[in-house]
Amino acid sequence: MDNTKGKIGIREFLAIILITIGTKVTDNTPTSLFDKVGSAAWITVILMGLFSFIPIYLLTKLIIAYEDQNLIDIIFRLLGKYIGFFVIFLLWTTETYSIVINSATYADIIETMYFVKTPLFFTYIVLIGVAAYGAKKGLEFIGSAAWVSLIGLNIALFVVLILSILQGRFNYVYPILGNGIPEIMKESAMNASILGEFLYLGFIVTSLRSTNVYKKGIWIGFIYVTTVYMLALISYIMLFDYVSIVNLNYPFHETIRFIQLGFLTNVESLFLPFWLVASFLRFSFYLYISALLFGALFKIKQFNYLVPSIAILIVFLGLIPEAPVFTLINLRENFAYLTTPIFLFLPLILWITAKLKGELKK
Amino acid sequence: MVDTIYHSLSLTHSNLQFLYITLYFGGTIRKNMELYIFLEKMRVKRFFKKLLKEEHPPFEKAATEDDLLKKKQIDSSLADTMELFKKIYYVPNNSDVNIRYIEIGGIKKNAAVITISSISNTKLIEELVIRPLLINEDESKEIELLLSPQVRKADVIEDILVEINNGNTTLFVDGEPYAYIISSGNFQGRSVEKAENEVVVKGPKESFNEQAMTNISLIRKRIRDEKLIVESTTISKRAKNELYLVYIKDIANEELITNIKNKLNSLDIDSIQNLSVLEEYLEDHIYSLFPTILYTERPDRASEFIEDGFIVLLMDNSPDSLILPATFWSFFHNSEDHYLRFLFGNFIRILRLMALFITLFISAIYIAITNYHVEMIPADLLLAISSTREIVPFPSLVEILMLEIAFELIREGGLRVPKPIGPTIGIVGALILGQAAVQANLVSPLVVIIVALGGLSSFAIGDTNLNYTVRLLRFPFLISAGVFGLFGLTALFTICLLYVTSIKSFGVPYLAPMTPNDSTAKDTIFRRLVKNELFRPGYLKPKDIEKKAGE
C-alpha cells in the first residue's frame, strides 16, 4: 500500500537543498570572505555561482544521461573499479571531514553564543545525536521533516534579513569592490567549494522520483541559495561595516543579537530554534551521505546501521581542536581551498570520460 | 521472515543455540543482521522472564468435547435434538432461554421453538411463527409456506447456536434434520442521540449509537449508493463479535481492503467487545504516542471519509466508528471546518493550530526562557516575573510540573466525577486551588496563567487521541527545556518531527498529503474552497481519483 516507496519528490528535495546548503550562511563561512575581500564579499558569491555553474551543469547532464544511476554508480562505471574507489574514498573523507569541522563550528556557536556555561561535550553530543537519529531514519524522512519546517525557517530567515537591512546603513556597502577586482576573482575561484555540496546531491538521485526532479530541484535550489547568500552578506555588511565584520566570527548570530523587533530588544533566542532545526536537519543529511558513501565503498547494503558509529567518530574528532573559535576558521579556510579543485574538476573529468566513451549520445 | 523462523523453532533453547552457530559460522552475519539482532533480543528477554517467572498451577482449558459436538449436524428426532440443546443451554437454570413445544395443526407434527426471550421480539414470534402453525388446518402445506416471515434453514449445531444467540427464533420439527430460522432479534439499546464529544455548532448533530445496524443506517442515509458495501466478518471466537467493514466498492483501494481483511482474519481472540479494544489489535505502532486510526462518533464525518476512499469499521456495542488509514490531518481536522463558511472554517483551523502549539510548548518555553534565555524578556516584564518568583521556594521547573500535574488531576477527576458533584470540582479545582496555591507562595501567578492557558488550549483539540498525545508530549518537552533550554526543546522537537514523518498508518505516510506530496488532496492546515477540492486523496490510491461525477 505504500505508494511512495521511499522516493522523495521535488518539494522534499528542494527543502533538503535549501536547508543543507542555505544554512551555511549562518555559520563562519562568510567570515573568511569578509576577511579577504572586505565589503565586496557579496560579489564573490555571484562569481562563485558563475564558477560553480559549469560543474553543476555538467553533473546534471551526466545524471540525466545515466538514468536510474546515482553519482556513485556513474563514478564507478566511468572511472573503473580502482580509480572509482579512490575517488569515492576521497569524497567520503572530505565529506566526513567537513561534517567534523562544521559540527564543531556549530557546537561552538551554540556554546559561545547561547549556552556559555554548558560543557561543549554535551552540546555536541545532543547536536550529533539528533542528527544521527534523523540519518538513521533515512533520507525520505529527512526530506519530509525539511519540507515541513522549511516555511517556518524561511520566514524566520527573511525576517532577519529584512530587519537587518532596514536597521543597517546603505553607505556601508561601499566601497563596492572591496579589496579590488583581482582579490575578488581569486577568492571566488578558490572558495567555489562553498557551493560544492551540490556535488553530494548527486549521490541521492536514485532516491528521487525522477531525474526531472533532480534537474528542477538543483537549479531552483542553486539560484535560491546563491540569492539568499548574497542578500545575507549584503545585510551583514550593512549592519556592521567591513572593518568590524572581520572581527566577528559568526556574523549571523551577531546579527540576530544586534537587531531589534519592536518592543523586543533581544531577539536572538527567538530565532535560535529555527536555526537549530535547520542545523539538525543539515547534519542529518550529511551523516546520511557519509554513511551512504561508506556503504558504497565497502559494499554494505544496510548502511544506516553505520550512522551511529560515524556519529561517535565525528564527535570525538570534532572535540579535538582546542580554542575552536580560532582553529576552526583556519581549518575551514584550508578545507575550502583544498576541496575546490575536486568540486570544479571532478564533474569535468567525469563528463570528458563519458564523452570519450561515447555514452552521452544515448 | 523473522516471525516464521521464530514460530517454526518454537523457541526452544537448544534450537536457538543451533541457529546462532549456523549464523556465526555460516558467514552470513551481515545478511542476517536483522534476524540476529532479533534473536539476541529474544534471548535477553527470555532470560529476564525466566528470572522473574512465577510458579502457578496449570491453567484449565475449556472442554473441547463441547466444541466437537457443535460441529455435528442435528438429528431428525425432535426429542434427541431438544435434549442436546437443553444440555448446551443448561436450560432449567438458564432462565431466559425459552423452549416451547407445539403441535403443528393440519400436518400433525410435533415441533419445538427455541428463543432467548431477552433479546428477541416475543410478540413477533407469537403472532408470526407460533400462531400460524397452531391454527393451520391444511394438511398438504409445507412449513415454510405456513410462516409469513422469510425462513432460512440450518443443520449444523454451531450455526443454529449462532442464530439463537443473535436473538433469532429456531423452529425444530420432528422428523426433519434441519431447523427453520426466523429473524426476530431485538437487542435493547439507546436511540440516536446528539454527539457529545465532537460537538459542532453548525451542521448535523446526530451521533452513532451502540447498535451497528442503526449506525449503518445513518451512513446509508447519507450515501445512497449501490456501491456502498457493508461487509461483515466475525472477529472473535467465543463472543462471536461481528465487525462491519463499510466502503465504496469502486472507490476504495483493493489492496487496502485486503490488507485490513488479512489483519482481521489473523485475529485469534475469544472476545473483542468494541471498537476501542479492536483499535489496539489493528494498530501498527502500539507503543507510539501518535494514534494511527481515527475514532469518530459522527456519521457525517464517517460518510465523508468513506466517500474519499477510506474504510470505516463499525461494530455492535460501539457508539463510534474507526476510520483507517488515518493521517495526522484527519486528527487535526474537525467536521465543522467544512460546515462553516470558508474564512470562518479556516479561522478555527488557525486557532486549533495555535492551540496545538500553545499546549505543547508554552510551559516548556516558559521554563527555557526563565532559566536559560532571560535576556529575551523585556526588562519590565522580567522584573515583574522575578518579584513574583522571589517568594516561591521551588525552582521554576518543579513549580510548573506541580501545577501541570495538578491540572491533569483536576481534569481526570472532573471527568470521572458523578454529574451532581461536577460543578464543585470546577470551583474547588480552578478557583480555590489556584488562588490558594498562589497565596501560599507555592506557585507564582504567572505560572498559573501559563498552565491554565496551556490547559485550556488543549481543549481546542477535539480528537480524543490527539488530545492525549499532545498532553503527554508536553512533559518530555518540559523536561528537555528544563535540562537544555531552547536547545533541548528544539532537539526534541526535531526528533519528534523526524519520527512523525516516519510513521505510517496502513502504508500511508502520517503527514500525507503535505509530505510526501502528491498534488491531489490539499486539505492540510487550511481548507480549500469546496469547489476546488477536485480530487480524492491520492495517497489512498483510490480507484476513482476525481470527485466530479461523469464527464
Residues 6+ positions from A153 with CB-CB distance below 8 Å: A19, A274, A277, A278
ipTM of the complex: 0.94
- The residue with cell 555561482 is A49
- Grid cell, residue B64, equals 473441547
Which tops the pLDDT comparison, A237 or B1? A237
SS (H, E, C) A318-329: HCCCCCHHHHHH
Name the strand (E) or helix (H) holding B180: strand B179-182
pLDDT of residue B64: 59
CB pairs < 8 Å spanning A and B: 125
Sort out which chain B residues have CB atoms less than 8 A from A136's CB and list them.
none
Report yes or no: A142 and A134 within 8 Å, Cβ to Cβ.
yes
C-alpha cell of residue A272: 535560535
Q: Which amino acid belongs to residue B262?
A: N
Of A123, A129, A144, the CB nearest to B515: A144
Choosing among B32, B494, B525, which should be mutated to test the A contact, i.e. which has the most A CBs within 10 A? B494
| Residue of A2, A7, A106, A144 best to disrupt the B interface, most CBs of B under 10 A | A144
Question: In the prediction, which pLDDT does B474 show?
Answer: 94
CATH number of the CATH domain containing A66: 1.20.1740.10
Comparing CB atoms, the residue among B486, B490, B511 nearest residue A148 is B511
Query: What whole-number distance in Å separates Cα of residue A28 and Cα of residue A249?
Result: 6
Rounded Cα–Cα distance for residues A140 and B78 (Å)? 68
Secondary structure (3-state) at B255: helix
Residues paired with B177 in a beta bridge = none
pLDDT tens, position by position, A54-72: 999 999 988 888 888 888 9
d(CA B307, CA B304): 5
Mind listing the pLDDT tens digit for each residue in A254-308? 999 888 888 888 888 889 999 999 999 999 999 999 999 999 999 998 898 999 9
Does residue A5 lie in a domain region?
A: no
Whether B508 sits inside 8 A of A1 (CB atoms) is yes
The secondary structure of residue A306, as a DSSP letter, is: G
Alpha-carbon torsion B153, B156, B158, B161, what sign?
positive
Measure CB to CB from residue B539 to each of A3, A263, A272 and give the nearest one.
A3
Where b means 16+ CB within 10 Å and e means fewer, B118-132 reads: ebbbeeebeebbbeb
As a whole number, the mean pLDDT across chain B is 85
Phi and psi angles of residue B112, each rounded to the nearest 5 degrees, phi first: -140, 145
Q: Measuring CA to CA, how many Å separate B370 from each of A137, B241, B376?
A: 34, 55, 9
Q: Which residues of chain B are at the A interface, by a Cβ-Cβ cutoff of 8 Å?
A: 30, 33-34, 253, 255-256, 259, 325, 369, 372-373, 375-376, 378, 484-491, 493-495, 497-499, 501-502, 504, 506-509, 511, 514-518, 538-539, 541
Evaluate whether B470 touches B461 at the Cβ level (below 8 Å): yes
Among B399, B423, B425, which Cα is nearest to B410's?
B425
Residues of A in contact with B256 (CB under 8 A): 1
Instruction: Name beta bridge partners: B324.
Output: B311
**Facing residue for B487 by CB, picked from A114, A134, A302:** A114
C-alpha–C-alpha distance, residues B146 and A253, integer Å: 92
Please count the other Cβ atoms lying within 10 Å of the Cβ belonging to residue A141: 27
Domain hosting residue A259, numbered range: 10-357
Q: Residue A74: is its pLDDT beyond 60?
A: yes
* B321-324 β-sheet, strand order: B228-234, B242-248, B311-315, B321-324, B294-296
> Domain total for chain A?
1
Distance CA B213, CA B17 (A): 54
> What pLDDT was estimated at residue B331?
94
Q: Do A269 and B486 touch (CB under 8 A)?
A: yes
Peptide bond connecting B325 to the previous residue in cis, omega within 30 degrees of 0:
yes
Closest residue by Cα to residue B154 from B181, B130, B176, B175 = B181
Contact B376 A284 (CB under 8 A): no
Mean pLDDT across the stretch A10-17? 92
Q: Tell me if A335 is assigned to some domain.
A: yes
- Determine the Cα–Cα distance for residues B98 and B125; give it in Å rounded to an integer: 12
Residues B490 and B373: their CA atoms lie apart, in Å, by 14
CA distance A357 to B517: 39
- Please provide residue B211's backbone torsions phi and psi, each rounded to the nearest 5 degrees: -105, 120
Residue B219: its pLDDT value, please? 94
B391: left (phi over 0), alpha (psi -120 to 50) or beta: alpha
Mind listing the pLDDT tens digit for each residue in B402-461?
Answer: 999 988 988 888 888 888 877 777 777 777 877 888 888 888 888 989 999 999 999 999
Helix%, strand%, coil% for chain A, nearest 5? 80, 0, 15
Residue bearing the bigger pLDDT, A186 or B69: A186
A272·B487 Cβ contact <8 A: yes
Q: Is the pLDDT of residue A228 over 90?
A: yes
pLDDT value, residue B243: 92
Mean pLDDT confidence for A228-247: 90
**φ/ψ of residue B507, rounded to 5:** 85, -5
CA distance A216 to chain B (A): 16
What is the residue whose three cell numbers read 470551583? B427
Provide, as residue numbers in chain A, all residues whose Cβ is less than 8 Å from the Cβ of B522.
none
Residue A43 has pLDDT above 70, yes or no: yes
Q: Which residues of A touch B515 (CB under 8 A)?
A: 11-12, 143-144, 147-148
CA B78: distance to chain centroid? 44
Stretches where chain B sits below pLDDT 50 are 1-6, 8-12, 14, 26-27, 550-551
* B325 vs A contacts (CB less than 8 Å): 1
Q: What is the pLDDT of residue A8?
A: 87
Contacts of B102 (CB under 8 A, 6+ apart): B110, B111, B112, B113, B130, B133, B134
The set of long-range contacts for A113-121, using a CB threshold of 8 Å and a minimum separation of 24, is A113/A250, A113/A253, A113/A257, A113/A268, A114/A268, A114/A269, A114/A272, A114/B372, A114/B373, A114/B485, A114/B486, A114/B487, A115/B372, A115/B484, A115/B485, A115/B487, A118/B484, A120/A319, A120/A324, A121/A319
User: pLDDT for B363-415, tens place per residue?
Assistant: 999 999 999 988 888 888 889 888 888 888 899 999 999 999 988 988 888 88
SS3 content of chain B, % helix, strand, coil (to 5): 50, 10, 35
Chain B contact set for A276 (CB, 8 A) = 486-487, 490-491, 494
Summarised one tens digit per residue, pLDDT across range B148-203 is: 777 888 888 888 888 888 888 899 988 888 888 988 888 888 889 998 888 899 99
- B-chain residue closest to A265, CA distance: B378
Distance CA B548, CA B551 (A): 8
CA distance B292 to B309: 17
- Give CA–CA dist B322/A106, Å, rounded: 46
Residue of A nearest to B496 (CA): A145
pLDDT the model gives residue A2:
55
User: Is pLDDT at A130 greater than 80 in this prediction?
Assistant: yes
